[in-house]
């Protein structure tokens, strides 16, 4: 029988061998499958930049906010690329993907084409991966959902003990930090 890590390693090799395709940003790996992700829109990227900028201003020495970067948990066979992460500078001392256990926070900005990826799949994966805070920013609906305090270590049984939901325009507490959602654009905004 093939182990989760063997399947994962084969999928990683396949992903690295893929040619660049127009409008495809990067592959992710989950549930023993390779998932091709579409290139994000300008408004999506602006939202990621605004969030990273706000977090950068508040983070203490020893933590950084970053947009992009592969994050993996080989034990679970998962490779994801959160839109914004908070981690230590030392986490980047690798030639491969970042270790999920080194993330303090992962922020996902919901895409119009695949919202279930952020609301369902990653909701069960991120706590199993040990990511302390998971923030879902949904420019379609103007909502921010903050999950924290993960429990469990297996996908399907892991979850977060705490959840809050906020509308755009509110200031959201993310542990020791704040996110002013008033400056975040919604999809379709003309500004």
Is 127 a domain residue?
yes
Local confidence band at 38 (pLDDT 50, 70, 90 cut-offs): low
d(CA 64, CA 185): 23
d(CA 56, CA 81): 19
d(CA 8, CA 115): 24
Is 8 a domain residue?
no
Burial category of 107 from C-beta neighbours within 10 Å (exposed 0-12, middle 13-18, buried 19 and up): buried
- pLDDT at residue 77 greater than cutoff 60: yes
Is 61 a domain residue?
yes
- What are 109-167's pLDDT values in tens digits? 998 777 777 888 899 999 999 999 999 999 999 999 999 999 999 888 999 999 999 99
Local confidence band at 190 (pLDDT 50, 70, 90 cut-offs): low
Is 7 a domain residue?
no
Total number of domains constituting the chain: 1
- What are 1-21's pLDDT values in tens digits? 778 888 878 888 887 777 666
DSSP states of 136-191 as a string?
A: EEETTTTEEEEEEEEE-SSTTT-EEEEEEEEEBTBEEEETTEEEEGGGPPPTT---
Query: Whole-prediction pTM value?
Result: 0.90
180 near 166, Cβ under 8 Å? no
d(CA 89, CA 102): 10
Is 13 a domain residue?
no
Q: Looking at residue 179, which CATH number applies to its domain?
A: 3.90.1570.10
Residue 94 token pair: 């690798």
Is 45 a domain residue?
yes
d(CA 43, CA 83): 13
Angle in degrees, CA 131, 64, 170, rounded to 5: 75
Segments forming the whole domain that contains residue 77: 41-183
Is 162 a domain residue?
yes
Average pLDDT, stretch 93-122?
90
Is 14 a domain residue?
no
d(CA 119, CA 62): 30
């Amino acid at each position: 029988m093939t182990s989760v890590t063997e399947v994962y390693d084969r999928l990683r090799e396949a992903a690295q061998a893929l040619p660049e395709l127009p409008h495809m940003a990067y592959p992710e790996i989950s549930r023993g499958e390779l998932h091709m992700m579409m290139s994000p829109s300008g408004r999506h990227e602006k939202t990621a930049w605004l969030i990273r900028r706000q977090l950068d201003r508040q983070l203490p020495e020893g933590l950084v906010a970053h947009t992009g970067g592969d994050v993996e948990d080989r034990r679970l066979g998962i490779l994801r690329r959160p839109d914004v992460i908070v981690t230590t500078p030392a986490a980047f001392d690798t030639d491969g993907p970042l270790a999920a256990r080194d993330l303090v926070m992962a922020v996902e900005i919901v895409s119009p084409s695949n919202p279930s990826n952020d609301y369902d799949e990653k909701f069960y994966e991120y706590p199993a991966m040990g990511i302390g805070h998971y923030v879902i920013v949904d420019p379609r609906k103007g909502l921010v959902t903050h999950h924290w305090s993960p429990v469990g270590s297996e996908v399907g049984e892991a979850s977060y003990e705490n959840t809050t939901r906020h509308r755009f325009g509110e200031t959201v507490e993310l542990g020791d930090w704040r996110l002013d959602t008033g400056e975040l654009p919604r999809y379709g905004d003309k500004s």
